Amino acid sequence: MEWYVVAGLAVTAFFAGTVDAIAGGGGLITLPALLATGMPPHTALGTNKGQSVWGSGAALVSFWRADRVDRRQAAFAFPLALIGALIGAQAVLLVDKDALRPIVIATLIGAAALLVVRKPAGAGDASPERARRYLAIALVLALAIGAYDGFFGPGTGTFLIVGFVALCGKSMTRATADAKVVNFASNLAALGAFARDGSVMWSVALPMALGQLAGGLLGARLAIRGGARLIRAVVLAVSGALVAKLVYDLATS
């Protein structure tokens, strides 16, 4: 692949990493760009994971250093998301993904609506009993959405953020930070599966990883400084883009 194409992909990865750190959905930008080069779909998917894991990792480190990550939850959520993603990856052949698209479209629309009307409940002020319940719910979300990411993927970041806000009483910034724990784990699991099959074009993935690193760091900083208003706006925009893409895929399949 020509050097200028790889350079363009690296720049694309920077923008994708920035968006992904704030609200998820970076794959909406990078995967079509990889496919546009003529790369086979399976290789494009593997290469996409090979570069995106760096962005989610950089964002996670930034949120962690800013003390936005629930570290107790992360200690359990990370391995559960890893296990979930591995289970999801193994289930790919069992269910027709086309049949799943209408369900995901409806769920994304519902999640976006819920994000507009539901305000954070203030987990920091929760009683010990409620805090334990929130933790249990968060761990179920990590396992279930980790499995979904390993199996299908679109909307993972949105579902995590909305779930943590609506069901666990987290602020938008906390929910985004905790979502990165699950995103990073599921990306690692998927990357391992693709790399084992030789489906990652590292000559493209590594230059893109540099863009993802920079974008992930910038996006996390913007999310921390911009707070709930910025995150909510970007999540809603990403949700709309995901719904439009899934509807298009459903109509043209």
User: Over the stretch 185-206, which tens digit does the pLDDT of each residue have?
Assistant: 999 998 998 898 898 999 999 9
Q: Give me 212's structure tokens.
A: 């993802």
Q: Give me 238's structure tokens.
A: 């990403």
Mean pLDDT of the residues in the chain:
88
- Tell me whether residue 191 is exposed, middle or buried, using C-beta atoms within 10 angstroms of its C-beta: 0 to 12, 13 to 18, 19 or more: buried
pLDDT digits (tens, 9 = 90+) for 83-137: 998 888 777 657 666 776 788 788 888 887 877 766 555 555 567 888 899 999 9
Rounded to an integer, what is the distance from CA 97 to the centroid of its chain?
A: 18
Distances (CA, A) of 59 to 18, 24, 37, 212: 9, 11, 27, 9
Question: Taking the model in full, what pTM does it have?
Answer: 0.88
Residue (of 154, 205, 242) closest to 43 by Cα position: 205
* Predicted pLDDT at 209: 97
Residue 45 has pLDDT above 90, yes or no: no
* Predicted pLDDT at 124: 53
* Predicted pLDDT at 117: 64
Higher-scoring residue by pLDDT: 97, 208: 208
Q: Around Cβ 228, how many Cβ atoms within 10 Å?
A: 17
Rounded to an integer, what is the distance from CA 84 to the centroid of its chain?
A: 14
% of the chain exceeding 70 in pLDDT: 93
- Alpha-carbon gap, residue 34 to 137, rounded angstroms: 36
* Predicted pLDDT at 71: 95
- In which band, very low, low, confident or very high, does the pLDDT at 1 lie, cut at 50, 70 and 90? confident
**Domain-wise residue ranges, the chain:** 3-252
